[in-house]
Amino acid sequence: MENNQKKLKFPNGFLWGTSTSAYQVEGGITNDWSEWEAKRVKSKKFKNKKLNPNDYICGKACDSYNRYEEDLDLAKSLNTNAVRFGIEWARIEPKKGVWDVAEIKHYAQVLAATKKRGLKTVVTLWHWTNPAWIAKAGGWANKETVTRYLRYVDLIVNELGGNIDYWVTLNEPMLLANYGYFLGYFPPNRHSFFKFKKATKNLINAHIGAYKKIHEYFPNAQVSITNLSNHFEPNKKWFFPDVMLKKIVAYYGINKFFNEINNYIDYIGVDYYRRIHLTLIPPFIKRKKENITDMGWEIYPEGIYHVLKYLSKFKKPIIILENGLADADDSRRAEFIKKHLYFVHKAIEDGVDVRGYFHWSLLDNFEWDKGYAPKFGLFAVDRKTFERKARLSAEVYGEICKTNSINFCTGISIPPLNKINHHVNAVFYSSDLK
Ligand code: FCB
């Protein structure tokens, strides 16, 4: 058995990190989402569900606005060499044309504190949330939002750009275009294909404009978006409508944006979470009952391999900027990470240029319309005291980052591990990968 044990090494200089977004962790932000939540919890539909409104109001989030030094220490304690976090547009420009100097200074301090710890900075400029005044003016369905966003980007480039190593202009723009303007799950809750198309076009132009602006000042900047790149399959492989639906969703979900911006990205930012089986019956996703996270998302590590291989057609370096799971009792996270990394490594061996892996998330945080119940953190956060506590999987991830490798056993005759082994140097087996 010992003989079969292999250390899978990642390339030198591989980026290891954790990801958060401004709204989900900072706390104390007023924007279009906070306004939406306030209205939502008062609605009849919400009241009928008898849910606790406090769980669905972002409010103080993880108080990371005040605790960023502590959070950076936690990130550093995992032996990561990079960290991804966001800047909140609504803080910088709370009213149209009014720049909040104190907030710009705040982010300058956060960036300096990150650099001081020797961490590379990956900074998201827009992660779904907008200043309330932008939403009132029509949000991303309004062309003017592009101009306004670019003014904000210009300011960030000027004031903070020197300390930003990797830029994420937009986080998962297609998801927001779809959920906000077509399916209507997220604010502004529109159900219009026309508005969806408009929002998509405006987001594409926003990215291209931002790319150009950043490169004007920093010709060697590394600029991209993140794209939610899950692995899609038709629910029934022999059923033509399911197959067509898969094609359409994969086109809009993965190809559309990258096709349009391919000349304006320096790398590809990938967010991978799950396999999705598509079916024509609303809500169009066939839920699986086994091997799922606390949010019901199917755990499918092999999918990251397919996605990476697929995205390699764009011929750009790839950075995985989100991958993780809701797992309150931490019984699956360590294995989840290792198995996904096994397939990332396999893609690298097959020639895919993957440069980094960022785990979502450093902390338990506010999971959008699902509120505080899903626990995505390597560190748990006490909702009353904000005390952070490392989960066991944090130790496992820390060891991976430290050694730039995972341990893997090739013996197929060895029975799969049937219980999660939290031991830091735990190996897992090829037979356990399905
Ligand atoms: C991604 C989002 C991120 C987080 C994870 C779980 O799609 O970008 O903010 O909510 O899902």
pLDDT digits (tens, 9 = 90+) for 19-65: 999 999 999 999 999 999 999 999 999 999 999 999 999 999 999 99
| Strands laid side by side in the 5-9 sheet | 5-9, 405-409, 428-429
Instruction: Mark 357-368 as b/e (b = at least 16 C-beta within 10 Å).
Output: bbbbbbbbbbbb
Mean pLDDT to the nearest integer, 398-421? 67
> What pLDDT band is residue 414 in, cutting at 50, 70 and 90?
very low
Task: Pick the atom of ligand 1 nearest to 376's CA.
Answer: 6
Mean pLDDT to the nearest integer, 366-384? 98
pLDDT for residue 252: 85
- Is the pLDDT at 424 greater than 60, yes or no? no
**pLDDT digit string (tens) for 185-194?**
999 999 999 9
**pTM of the prediction?**
0.94
Pairing of strands 405-409, 5-9: antiparallel
How far apart CA 86 and CA 123 sit, in angstroms, is: 5
For residue 429, is it within any domain?
no
Mean pLDDT of the chain: 93
With a CB cutoff of 8 Å and minimum separation 6, the contacts of 251 are none
For residue 413, is it within any domain?
no
How far apart CA 112 and CA 371 sit, in angstroms, is: 31
For residue 423, is it within any domain?
no
The answer to which of 93-102, 231-240, 257-266, 415-424 has the lowest mean pLDDT is: 415-424
CB of residue 367 inside a 6 A radius of ligand 1: yes
For residue 412, is it within any domain?
no
How far apart CA 148 and CA 150 sit, in angstroms, is: 5
Helix (H, G, I), strand (E, B) or coil at 434: coil
What is the CA(261)–ligand 1 centre distance, in A? Answer: 22
How far apart CA 291 and CA 172 sit, in angstroms, is: 25
For residue 431, is it within any domain?
no
Dihedral in degrees, nearest 10, Cα atoms 318, 322, 327, 328: 150
HSE, side-chain direction, 13 A CA sphere, residue 273: 21
Query: Could you give the number of structural domains in the chain?
Result: 1
pLDDT for residue 120: 98
The answer to whether the bond into 188 is cis (omega within 30° of 0) is: yes
CB of residue 366 inside a 6 A radius of ligand 1: no
For residue 95, is it within any domain?
yes
Tokens encoding 183: 């399916």
Among 172, 200, 266, 279, residue whose Cα is nearest residue 233:
279
CB of residue 322 inside a 6 A radius of ligand 1: yes
CB of residue 364 inside a 6 A radius of ligand 1: no
What is the CA(320)–ligand 1 centre distance, in A? Answer: 13
CB of residue 294 inside a 6 A radius of ligand 1: no
- Is the pLDDT at 429 greater than 70, yes or no? no
Considering only CA atoms, which residue is closest to atom 4 of ligand 1? 367
Considering only CA atoms, which residue is closest to atom 9 of ligand 1? 21
- Is the pLDDT at 423 greater than 50, yes or no? no
172, 276, 369: which to mutate for ligand 1, most atoms within 8 A of CB? 172
CB of residue 271 inside a 6 A radius of ligand 1: yes
- Is the pLDDT at 430 greater than 60, yes or no? no
Place of tokens 């809500």: 283
Residue 292 is given by DSSP the state B
Amino acid at 106: H
129, 179, 271, 273: which to mutate for ligand 1, most atoms within 8 A of CB? 271
Amino acid at 277: H
**pLDDT digit string (tens) for 163-202?**
999 999 999 999 999 999 999 999 999 999 999 999 999 9
Task: Pick the atom of ligand 1 nearest to 374's CA.
Answer: 6
User: How many beta carbons lie within 10 A of that of residue 412, not counting itself?
Assistant: 10
Going 67 to 68 to 73 to 74, the CA torsion angle's sign is positive
- Is the pLDDT at 236 greater than 90, yes or no? yes
322, 323, 327, 365: which to mutate for ligand 1, most atoms within 8 A of CB? 322
For residue 78, is it within any domain?
yes
Pairing of strands 405-409, 354-360: unpaired
Secondary structure E strands in 242-306: 268-271, 275-278
Mean pLDDT to the nearest integer, 81-106? 98
With a CB cutoff of 8 Å and minimum separation 6, the contacts of 17 are 75, 80, 81, 82, 83, 84, 119, 120, 122, 356, 357, 358, 359
Tokens encoding 251: 């086109």
By residue range, what is the domain housing residue 296? 10-404
Helix ranges, 218-295 (H): 240-250, 256-261
User: How many beta carbons lie within 10 A of that of residue 140, not counting itself?
Assistant: 28
Considering only CA atoms, which residue is closest to atom 10 of ligand 1? 367
pLDDT for residue 6: 84
How far apart CA 172 and CA 227 sit, in angstroms, is: 5
What is the CA(366)–ligand 1 centre distance, in A? Answer: 10
- Is the pLDDT at 422 greater than 80, yes or no? no
For residue 419, is it within any domain?
no
169, 367, 370, 376: which to mutate for ligand 1, most atoms within 8 A of CB? 367
User: How many beta carbons lie within 10 A of that of residue 291, not counting itself?
Assistant: 12
What is the CA(275)–ligand 1 centre distance, in A? Answer: 15
Place of tokens 């200089």: 13
Continuous segment of H or E residues that includes residue 73: helix 64-77
What is the CA(127)–ligand 1 centre distance, in A? Answer: 9
Task: Pick the atom of ligand 1 nearest to 324's CA.
Answer: 6
Q: What percent of the chain has pLDDT over 70?
A: 93
What is the CA(7)–ligand 1 centre distance, in A? Answer: 30
Mean pLDDT to the nearest integer, 327-332? 97
CB of residue 399 inside a 6 A radius of ligand 1: no
pLDDT for residue 410: 63
CATH for 352: 3.20.20.80
How far apart CA 94 and CA 124 sit, in angstroms, is: 18
How far apart CA 290 and CA 322 sit, in angstroms, is: 23
